[in-house]
Structure 1
Amino acid sequence: MLRIQLQELLNMMELDEYHPASLMAKQLAVSEKTVRNRIKELKSVLNQHGGDIVSKSRYGYKLVVTDEKKFKHFLQEENESNIPETIQERNIFLLKYLLELDGWVKMDDLCDMLYISKSSLSSSIRNVEKIMNQYNITIERKPNYGISVRGDEFDLRRLLCHYFIKNKSFKEFRARDNEAFMWIAQNVQELLIKYEIHLTEIAFDNFIDYVYIGFSRTRRGYHLNLQFVSLPTIGVKEISFQRELVEKIEETYHLRYSKDEKNYILLYLAGKQRVGNAIENDYNFVIREEIDRLALGMMERIKQEYHMDFCSNFELRMTLNQHLVALDVRLKYGLPLTNPMLDEIKKQYCLAYDMALQASAVLRDYYKTEICEDEVGYIALIFALALNKDTNREKMNILVVCNSGKNLLKLLKYQYEQSFSDYVDQIYVEDKIGLEKFDFSLVDYVFTTVPITWKIPCPIFEISVFLGENDVQAITNILERGITDVLRKYYTPERFLTDIKGRDRDSILKEICDIIMKQEQVDDDFYELVLEREKYAQMKYGNKIAIPHPNRICSPYTFAYVAVLPEEVLWNGEYVQVIFLTSVSDVKGGDDSNRQKFYKSTAQFALNRESVQQLIDHPDYETLMKLIES
């Protein structure tokens, strides 16, 4: 196996390309003389394995292969040495190694172990230390001894649980004693059934991992001290489950669990119950007053941000409460959680995920900690259920105009109700005279048997008095297309901007708001209201997009302005290049029939990094609509 310096040197060299010694010396942070000496060593090794290094004055050195079969075999043996190759792999290796380290380790020994230079190792150690610091764990450095990990055992276990399970490297951690892991899994499953304790499949898998980590640490002589941890209320069944599980472990593996070790199991069990269990009818739980206040606060936040009022939805409120009981434990004690469904949730329930991000701000403020994506994903499932039960929001409202008397108007309304119930929510009927006082914000389309010669703010389609088969199909096609076309009511060509000159948040918003003031019906203090909303905690999409809006309703209809900037600007701590400035009307204003479609499409676009980048690369209105309608 090559020594550290020779391995790095070999990694730098490519076949049939010369590399100056000065460049390699700079990359390795050594002198040119040292590089030349190491090249001689590497050349000697390669000569035995089908390779060579040749030099050329003023060009440098290049790698050549003299025996392809021997050289491939040599490289294969080097690659199979289980040494991490990428920076990410090296960081995980170091994190795992240091957490399991008893005592101290010298930097030189780590360099030889990983076949990297001291500068590369120092960089990786700094990355690992940043991860550890999030869990109140530090790396102590001591001359002649090296480095060692320092931290509370509870925090060390939190990091072990979260990082290795999250990065899917937990199998390596338990590989040393897979038999014990399988024994724990089987006994936990049997006892959960015995005591009728329900865990979802995901929560069960996570709980097994946590119990095993506690078991392996206890077996190695590391013990917890939970004297400052106030345990949540635990039921009789859970306590009986814990007692019998501990007794079985102690008897089988000749261990002695302290009171704190037993409470450790109860703590994780309390944090895992009902995870992702939002759609099951299990109401056997205690809701504290502060938990209910949090649930109501989350629903109120949705009302403020989306103007969708779920506050009277008792089922949603109870489901949130049920979920928050266990979430409260996880957030208070920093218990880790994984959500293998996260990517699918973002894709399938983009609006619900967007809502969950906004609602999570209430939890962040209360618990003074960031809410991880995994937790947001579970909350999104709860909102997805509430949204899916409200099917009428995807339907449209239409107006039917006819001058042939009230009886025919009633007949037409009945015909449309029977023929288009899958597409239409409300059907209004009027004669031509009644159009003068009709509020067109109530409808999406007008179908008329008589010509309408003046301009009205809705698409108009002329129809026959009596619906034939061809008429039904034609109107069905219009309504099907309308589910998509309705977005063009909110996003119009004149609302798509590419010539914004501002280079900071406030000046960009001022420029866009000035255009809005000229083109739309908004309150005079529209810009000030948008700026005031920006003072609140903002949702960060991380996709170069920001979605500002006023902090109250100030327009009689809903609209969205889209600005694509020529370059990125710093916006509330993140770099942004696409601005969606939205304004929604009051629900009472009547244009709410497709509000959910508007929110859903906007959220789907904002959460899609590729779509945002595609708009940046091709900043035109039709590209926007193609992406947002897809």
Structure 2
Amino acid sequence: MFSNKEKKILQILVEEKENFVTSKKLAAHLSCSDRTIRNHLKCISTELEFIEGVNLCSKQGHGYKLLFRDQNKKQSFIQMYDLVNHTIQNDSDVEERYTVILNKLLFEHESILFDDLADELYVSRSTLSHDFKIIRKMLDEYNLKIESRANKGVFILGKESDKRRFIMNYFLGSQFLKTVQRHIKMDVLDQNLNLESLTRIVLEECREDNLKLSDFVLQNLVVHIALAIQRVKSGFSVPAIGTKLEKYSCERVVATRILKRVKEIIGIAFPDQEIDYITLHLISKRQMLHENFHVDNREFIKQDLLNSLSSLKIDDIYHFSSDLRLIEGVVTHLLTLKVRLLNEMGLSNPLLQEIKSQYEDVFYLTEKILNNMSFFSDVKLTDDEVAYVSLHFMAALERYKENTKFNVLAICATGFGAAQMLKNRLETEFNHRIHVVDVVGFYELTKDKLENIDFIVSAVDLSNLFFSIPVFKVSVFLKPNEVEEIKHAMDHMIQRNKSYHSYQAVRKSFEEKLKLFFSESRFFILKTGKRADIEQLLIDSLAVDETIQFKKDFLNFLRDREKLSSVVFSDKIAVPHPIQAVGKQAKVAVAICKEEVEWDNVSNQIQIIFMISPSVYGNEELKLVTEKIIALTEKNEIQRELLHCKDFITFITLLESL
């Protein structure tokens, strides 16, 4: 998977055709530094190693260009990654730069040098100047000004009370705190003390003593205190800290004041141990408590976390490494976590059961990432600790969902009246998460209408048709259960990676259902052949036990289906099927060709053909088969194994392994 910037680089290289493009020219196009471009080009080169027929060529003194094995490979690559007339929005990248700049100005330093900041962010001076224009407008609303002086740098002028107001609104209304407040289904705080009020207390007390802590530390601290309140309410006790904290008198005084104010509001007294734990959070930006544990470990933890994400191939799905707020938030949390583990200070997590039951996938994903880090190779993380860290990943996924908009095609019988009602209901229920590209009647559905569509929402039964994108059958009124089904599916499209435990629970039943559709009598390994001959062979195998008219009707409906959109799902895979069911029983016939087959004018490398015959009596479970086929299109290694398989048992085993 390529990031937005990497797609923009690829688009430029594609448009330049046979010319070499220098990294300097690419940097100018993307308004970033030459070094940033080279880093992205390394990532692109690594990713292309897994894509057949495409290579990134570099020539010293000339630059870079893309090389394609043939024109078909070029076209499929461009289509797969949407590289034609593709305008990439870098809003998330820009927002992250704003966050870094404001963090430095408001939390970490009184002033920063402009050139140093440009180097750190890997952007040009002109890009940084534009960023500061936007930031100035943001600060104007709070009576804050940005000043710049020679040899002193850039800094913010204004009242401390105005700075606190800005911090509250910009930093601490983050998705991380929203996740804790909105998605964990339990009353963490007292009615008299909400999360916003607690955040204000922490911010005021920290800045009163000039504690320069980043927004990441503040957010972690707020959540820690919220859970500490729940711990005390539930009667949980925490172990005493075995390390002396006398030299951190300032931080301890601030921690004491914070809990004193909380006690005044909710009437609960906190033991000294809880004050010590808050003190740990407050000193997390300074030298830590263990003799071998210094602030330098922050960079080590960060790199260790990035390495874990990379080695587990998790970034191929989620792009966590490019999420500044996630990485900094997790690293900040892990700093204090490691200190507690070194001193055998475990914490109970009141949210553990809620997280494991409602966000099981995220919990096990977090556990996998942490256990893969060398930083924790000498300790065993408890479920309580993993659940704390999983809050950060939950927030990251929520941010990603909010920034991901799906293109949707709505289908009704005519495209009028009820169709507009369906469109309005979709836009009301899903708001910023979808874009209804068009509303069409069933008979207006054409290949062109399906271009760049992520999924279809239809008030007409399309169960006899199979597309390479999901289809949801709904009523025009869009019932609550239908809304939930689509929301769940959108989350799945984004996350795609199910936990091992969830997968195991459904695998056995799926394997049994899989065998209902496939048969050794409908499985063929061919050395060579033409499309028409292969189609006829598969149709003949599907016609067993069917009516006399089956073959003729099936072939006619096969051609009608192809008029809607291509049945070629990838470079190697075609999935022909009729526009209307004609068979009694749902069946699939398979042909594996040792030599490439020319399927149409565009696709001439087809080697795996799944011919699907839906049933006139219903096809609810057949979609499980199509999901497997879609999954196969993304698994080049399994495709290669299928091309070398010698019997039906090997084929079905490989299909089950997806």
TM-score (norm 1): 0.35
Structure (1 or 2) with the larger CA radius of gyration: 1
